[in-house]
């Protein structure tokens, strides 16, 4: 069974090598995550000029992984095997499409409702089940979930000021989350934002201290 985590790539060097089309969206995601992105591929590779991507217009060669944190390999065999060996020796996290079982991570199926990100994987057991689950979740979880999360993110200073007790904060926000999602879903995001702000502002931090003392 695999272990799933989200990586913070800001200012980290991420390297891709090869010309397979699946690399293009991954490069874009790296850029969005704030990574330093470097691509090794021939000038004829099917990639348009992409802001934030340093394109070295030549094939990958030994030594190109120096300083990398994360790497993607879209090279055929036997070049992919050499890439994997170098990544392993340098302790670089890597995925190679030609050698998925040797790779140190896999690329999960993604559902994006920014800033909400849902990742799905069956650890290689069944792509069909992954696809079915992703389809059902995508139908159930709409953009309103991401918008509700963004609203609460905007209000973090207010949340910290009015809800200093973590347990109490969790109770309040858990109750509020459903109302926010519903308000955004029916097309009144301004109402959702006002609802969140008014609800959070209504709590007196001093009362939470008393509440916490009573619980203990």
Domain count, the chain: 3
CATH number of the domain enclosing 58: 3.40.50.720
Q: Are residues 118 and 136 in the same domain?
A: yes
Q: Are residues 98 and 119 in the same domain?
A: no
With respect to residue 3, please indicate whether it lies within any of the assigned structural domains.
no
With respect to residue 91, please indicate whether it lies within any of the assigned structural domains.
yes
* Domain-terminating residue out of 107, 133, 161: 107
Model pLDDT for residues 1-51, shown as the tens digit of each residue: 789 899 999 999 999 999 999 999 999 999 999 999 999 999 988 888 889
pTM for the full predicted model: 0.83
* Domain-terminating residue out of 122, 141, 160: 141
Residues of the chain with pLDDT under 50: 210-212, 214
Model pLDDT for residues 162-173, shown as the tens digit of each residue: 998 889 999 999
Per-residue confidence (pLDDT) for residue 208, from 0 to 100: 55
Domain that holds residue 187: 143-215
With respect to residue 51, please indicate whether it lies within any of the assigned structural domains.
yes
Q: Are residues 147 and 201 in the same domain?
A: yes
* Domain-terminating residue out of 107, 125, 154: 107
With respect to residue 2, please indicate whether it lies within any of the assigned structural domains.
no
DSSP state of 18: E
Per-residue confidence (pLDDT) for residue 35, from 0 to 100: 98
Rg (CA), the chain: 22
């Amino acid at each position: 069974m695999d272990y799933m985590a989200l990586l913070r790539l800001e200012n980290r060097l991420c390297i891709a090598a090869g010309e397979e089309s699946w690399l293009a969206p991954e490069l874009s995601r790296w850029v969005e995550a704030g990574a330093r992105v470097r691509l090794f591929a021939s000038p004829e590779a099917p990639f348009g000029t992409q802001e934030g991507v340093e394109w070295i217009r030549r094939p990958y060669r030994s030594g190109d992984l120096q300083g990398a944190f994360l790497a993607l390999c879209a090279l055929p065999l036997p070049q992919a095997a050499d890439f994997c060996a170098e990544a392993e020796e340098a302790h670089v996290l890597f995925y190679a499409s030609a050698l998925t079982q040797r790779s140190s991570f896999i690329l999960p199926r993604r559902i994006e409702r920014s800033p909400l990100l849902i990742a799905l994987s069956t650890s290689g057991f069944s792509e069909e089940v992954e696809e079915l689950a992703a389809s059902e979740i995508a139908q159930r979880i709409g953009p309103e979930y991401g918008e509700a999360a963004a609203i609460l993110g905007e209000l973090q200073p207010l949340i910290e000021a009015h809800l200093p007790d973590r347990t109490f904060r969790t109770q309040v926000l858990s109750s509020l989350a459903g109302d926010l999602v519903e308000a955004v879903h029916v097309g009144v995001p301004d109402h959702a934002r006002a609802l969140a702000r008014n609800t959070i502002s209504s709590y007196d931090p001093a009362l939470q201290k008393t509440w916490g003392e009573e619980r203990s």
